[in-house]
A and B are shown apart, each in its own frame.
Chain A
Amino acid sequence: AQTVTQSQPEMSVQEAETVTLSCTYDTSESDYYLFWYKQPPSRQMILVIRQEAYKQQNATENRFSVNFQKAAKSFSLKISDSQLGDAAMYFCAYRSANNFNKFYFGSGTKLNVKP
């Protein structure tokens, strides 16, 4: 079974600074999708960014970008120019391209943003 590991339970960043959240995963598949979801205090799950494994180019969405290292099975999220509204739990998730049935989520990283 696929596993997703987020080794940083909690991180802090100063407003306007850059922070990187780590995620590693374990799979024997070659085709899959990776996601970062944000869960603010409202507990709503918000899609931040997604990456197709077959694409070598790292995905970018405004201030959010990923560093996808397929061989290392690593998928980190970089948040540039951090804002107070970025404070939330961040979950990394894996989904097979052949089996859309489920996501596998990591345990989450709590991001604090200091003014």
Chain B
Amino acid sequence: NAGVMQNPRHLVRRRGQEARLRCSPVKGHSHVYWYRQLPEEGLKFMVYLQKENIIDESGMPKERFSAEFPKEGPSILRIQQVVRGDSAAYFCASSPGTRYQETQYFGPGTRLLVL
């Protein structure tokens, strides 16, 4: 009964490097969401994807950030040329495509630290 899996759990990058965060949704879930949590704050929506499609990216910064959810494999959140302000916890959540779509199940998060 695997839940949402994220890896790595902790990621350290130097300024200017790229960060790749992976998310495997609950088996059978076709909807994936990414959130960012800055220190001492709640989660902020970034992007919503279904298989091979970006449905809503209204919370994504316009530059350096991208996300994908390919037909096979995990969803990837990619941050290019990271800056210190990107340091945060990044959470992935998934939901089924039909009933109970309203509930999202969260992964354990990836803590990104930019030096």
Contacts and interface: CB of A to CB of B under 8 A. Distances in A.
Contacts of B43: 45, 91, 103, 105
Of B35, B44, B89, B103, the most chain A CB neighbours within 10 A belong to: B103
Contact of A103 (B45, B55, B108): B45
A101 B41 contact: no
Interface residues of B, number: 26
Contact of A101 (B48, B89, B103, B108): B48
A45 B59 contact: no
Contacts of A43: 89, 108-109, 111
Nearest to A44: B108
A45 B91 contact: yes
Given A102-B56, A103-B43, A108-B42, A95 B102 contact: yes
Contacts of A37: 106
A97 B102 CA distance: 7
A37 B104 CA distance: 10
A95 B104 CA distance: 10
Contacts of B109: 43-45
Contact of A42 (B33, B95, B105, B108): B108
Of B43, B59, B106, the most chain A CB neighbours within 10 A belong to: B43
Nearest to A89: B42
A18 B50 CA distance: 41
Interface of B: 31, 33, 35, 41-45, 48, 55-56, 58-59, 89, 91, 93, 95, 101-106, 108-109, 111
Interface of A: 4, 33, 35, 37, 42-47, 50, 91, 95, 97, 100-108
